[in-house]
Amino acid sequence: MRQYSKLLQQLTRKSIEHRIASLLQDSSTQQHLLQVHAFYVKTCPGRNNFLHAKLLSAVVSLSPPNDLQYARSIFDSFSMPDTFIWNTMIRAYLNAQKPRESVTLYFQIRLQDNVLVDSFSLSLVLQACARLMDSENGQKLHALIAKLGFGPDVFVQTALIEMYAKCHCLEDAGKVLDHMEKPDLVSYNVLLAEYVRIGEIELAHELFNRMPERDLVSWNTIIHGYASLSEVRSAPKPFNITNEQRQQSNEALRLFHRMQLANVVPDKITIISVLSACGNLGALGMGRMIHEYVEINGIEIDMKLGTSLLDMYAKCGDIDSSVKTFKNVNARDIFTWSVMIMGLANHGLGELALEYFSNMIAEGLKPNDVTFLGVLSACSHIGLVEEGWKYFKSMTSVYGVAPKIEHYGCMIDMLGRAGLLQEARELIKSMPFAPDAVLWRAILGACRIHKNVELAEEATVNLLELEPHVDGNYVLLSNIFSQARKWDNVVDLRRMMRNADIHKVPGSSSIEVGNAVYEFVAGDKSHPKSDKIYEMLDEILHSIRCNGYEPLTTSAIQDFAEQEKQNALAAHSEKLAIAFGLLATAPGTPIRIFKNLRICDDCHLAIKFISNLYHRKIIIRDRNRFHHFEEGSCSCKDYW
C-alpha cells in the first residue's frame, strides 16, 4: 500500500512535469509564461534541472529585447547550474546586446569547481569579445583553447576568426583560417562578411575568389559588399555617387550575373542587394527585370524587399512604380515610409510627401531622423518655408527627434533658396554644430540665385578653408563671378586651381537604351554614331530657337566670346544624351538621363523646349533631385 502511494506520487509528479513541459512549449506570451512559472513553483517543489532549464529557455525566448531581469532571476535560482545552463544565459546576454555580461558570466564559470567550459561556452564568449572589440581577452582565450584541446573545433575556430576580424586583427583572422585543418565554408563566409563590414572590399573579393567553394551566403555577402555604398570610406550619397562607387555597383551586377552562371539560385537577400545597385546606377531596365524575376518566381515581397523595390524605382526616376509598389507591399515600417517620403521629395512631389508623412503618423508610427530628412527636403525642394519651420520645430517638441547637422542643412538650403539669406545665416549661428562645407555651399548657391555678394564672401572663405581641394567649389565660385562679369576673379580662381592641381570633374550624362548604358561628356565624339548625334543636336537647337529658346550664356563659365560660349553650351553632356535618346528610342518613349553634376540653367531651359517640341517626357536625375520635363515645363517649377 505504501509502495503504491509512492508510485502514485511519482506518477503524479511525472505527469505534472510533463504537463509543465508542454505548457512551457506552448507559452507564447510573457503573461502566459508567468502563470506556468507560478504553477511550476507551486506543484514541483523538488529540484528538476531539466525542467528548470526548459523554463529558463522559455523565459529567455519571450524576454523583451534588452531586458533579461526575469531570465536572470531564474538563472540565479539554480543551485548548481550545469554548463548548458551557463551557456544559455551567456547566449541570452549576447543576443540582448549585452556582451559585457556574457564575458563576466564566462569568467564566473572558470571559478566554479564542478563546471567545465565547453566548445559552446568558448565560441559564445569569443563572439562577446568580438562585439566588445576586446582582443586582449580574445587572445587569452585563443591560448586557453589550444591548452584545453579545443583546437580542432570548427565552431570555436570560426568564432576566433570573427573575433580577430572584428578587432581589426585581419592578419590573425586570416592565420586562424589558414591553419584550420578542415576549414568550414562558414569559416570562410564569416571572414568574408567581416571584410565587407569593415569596407575591405578588395580583400573580400580576393578571399571570395580563392575560397574552395561558394554557397548562396558567400555570393550574397560579396554582392552586398559591392552594392552598398561603403559607409566606412565615405558617407552614403546615392545622388552624387562617385565614380568608384559606380564601378562598385557595376561590379555587383557583374557578380550577380556570374552567380547565375554558377547555377546558384538567388534568394530574397540577393535581390535586395542587386536592387540597391540598380538604384545607385539608375539602371531602371535592370531593376524592372529583377522585379519581373521576383514575380515570376513567386518570391514573396516582404517589407524589406518591398522597401528596396520602391527605393529602386524612386532612384531610377519611375516614381509611379515606386508609389504602386508602396501601395502593394503587405506591411510597412518606418523604413518603408521614410524611403517613400524621401523618394517623393526627390521628385519634387513635396505636398504628397507631407501627405504621406501625416498618414504615417495616423498609423501610429514614430518618425525618426531619416524620416525628417525626407520631410524637410520635401519642403526645401518646393519652397514651403513655413511648413518647413513647423516640421523642424516639431522634431524636438512633438517627436523627440534631435535635429542633426543634416536637418540644419535642409533648413539652410530651404531658407537660402527662398531668399531668406539672413535667416539662414542666423540659423547657422544658432545651431549647436560647427557648420560644414555642405552648409556653406548651400549658402553660396543661394547667394548665386539671389545675388548677395556680402554673404557670398563669408561663405567662400569658410568653404575654401574646409574643402580647399574640392573642384566643385571652384566651379560654383567661378559661376558666381562670371555671372557678375568679374572675369579677373575667374582668372584668379583658375590660377588657384592650377597651383593646387585641382581638376574639374567633367560633367557626364548617361542614358539607358536597350540593355546598355551610354555615357556622354561635354563635346563627346566617342560614340560610333557621333556624326548623327551632332546632326540631331543641330536640328534640335535650330528648332527650339525658332520656338523662342535663347541660349543662357551666363551658364558658360569661361570668358569666351559670345559665339564660343554658345558652342560650349550646345555640346553639354545632357544635350548630347538627349539627342542620342531622341534618335535611339521610339517616338513617345520617355527619355531618362542621369547626370553626375547639377543640371545647368541653359540645359534646363533648352530641355523644356525640347520636351514640348518633340512631345517627350524627359526625366533627369542630377546630383540633387529629379526633374520631370513635359510639354514645355519642369516639375521643379524652375525652383531649384
Partner DNA sequence: ATAGGGTTAG
Is 322 among the residues that bind DNA (CB under 7 A)? Answer: no
Q: Which is nearer to DNA, 230 or 510 (CB)?
A: 230
From 63, 228, 325, 478, residue interacting with DNA (rule: CB under 7 A): 228
From 166, 441, 616, 621, residue interacting with DNA (rule: CB under 7 A): 441
| DSSP code per residue over 134-198 | -HHHHHHHHHHHHHHT-TT-HHHHHHHHHHHHHTT-HHHHHHHHHH-SS--HHHHHHHHHHHHHT
Is 517 among the residues that bind DNA (CB under 7 A)? Answer: no
Q: How far is the CB of 213 from DNA (least distance, A)?
A: 10
From 237, 485, 495, 529, residue interacting with DNA (rule: CB under 7 A): 237
Q: How far is the CB of 610 from DNA (least distance, A)?
A: 25
User: Dihedral of CA 252/255/260/266: which sign?
Assistant: negative
From 39, 78, 84, 155, residue interacting with DNA (rule: CB under 7 A): 155
3-state secondary structure 277-298: HHHHHCCHHHHHHHHHHHHHCC
Count of beta carbons in the 10 Å neighbourhood of residue 531: 10
Is 317 among the residues that bind DNA (CB under 7 A)? Answer: no
Is 635 among the residues that bind DNA (CB under 7 A)? Answer: no
Is 249 among the residues that bind DNA (CB under 7 A)? Answer: no
Q: How far is the CB of 38 from DNA (least distance, A)?
A: 29
**Which 600-629 residues touch DNA, going by CB under 7 A?**
623-625
φ, ψ for residue 13 (rounded to 5)? -65, -45
Can you tell me whether residue 521 is helix, strand or coil?
strand
Is 102 among the residues that bind DNA (CB under 7 A)? Answer: no
Q: How far is the CB of 562 from DNA (least distance, A)?
A: 30
**Which 120-139 residues touch DNA, going by CB under 7 A?**
120, 123, 127
Q: Are 123 and 135 spatial neighbours (Cβ–Cβ below 8 Å)?
A: no
Is 335 among the residues that bind DNA (CB under 7 A)? Answer: yes
**Which 259-278 residues touch DNA, going by CB under 7 A?**
267-270, 272-273, 276
Q: Which stretch binds DNA (CB under 7 A): 172-180, 182-190, 244-252, 614-622?
A: 182-190
From 334, 352, 464, 583, residue interacting with DNA (rule: CB under 7 A): 334
From 72, 291, 347, 381, residue interacting with DNA (rule: CB under 7 A): 381
**Which 32-51 residues touch DNA, going by CB under 7 A?**
none
Calpha distance 91→121 (Å, rounded):
9
From 17, 101, 134, 153, residue interacting with DNA (rule: CB under 7 A): 153
585 CB-contact burial (10 Å; exposed 0-12 / middle 13-18 / buried 19+) = middle
Can you tell me whether residue 438 is helix, strand or coil?
helix
Q: Which is nearer to DNA, 304 or 486 (CB)?
A: 304
Calpha distance 491→559 (Å, rounded):
9
From residue 495, alpha-carbon distances to 488, 490, 498, 503 in Å are: 11, 9, 5, 11
Can you tell me whether residue 572 is helix, strand or coil?
coil
From 304, 324, 450, 504, residue interacting with DNA (rule: CB under 7 A): 304
**Which 410-439 residues touch DNA, going by CB under 7 A?**
410, 413, 436-439
Read off the DSSP letter of residue 383.
Answer: T
Return the C-alpha torsion angle 582, 587, 590, 594, nearest 10.
Answer: -10
149 CB-near residues (< 8 Å, 6+ apart):
none
572 CB-near residues (< 8 Å, 6+ apart):
507, 522, 600, 602, 603
Site size toward DNA (CB under 7 A) is 78
Is 339 among the residues that bind DNA (CB under 7 A)? Answer: yes
Query: Cell triple for residue 215?
Result: 554557397
**Which 394-413 residues touch DNA, going by CB under 7 A?**
405-406, 408-410, 413
Is 291 among the residues that bind DNA (CB under 7 A)? Answer: no
Q: Which stretch binds DNA (CB under 7 A): 376-384, 448-456, 519-527, 627-635?
A: 376-384
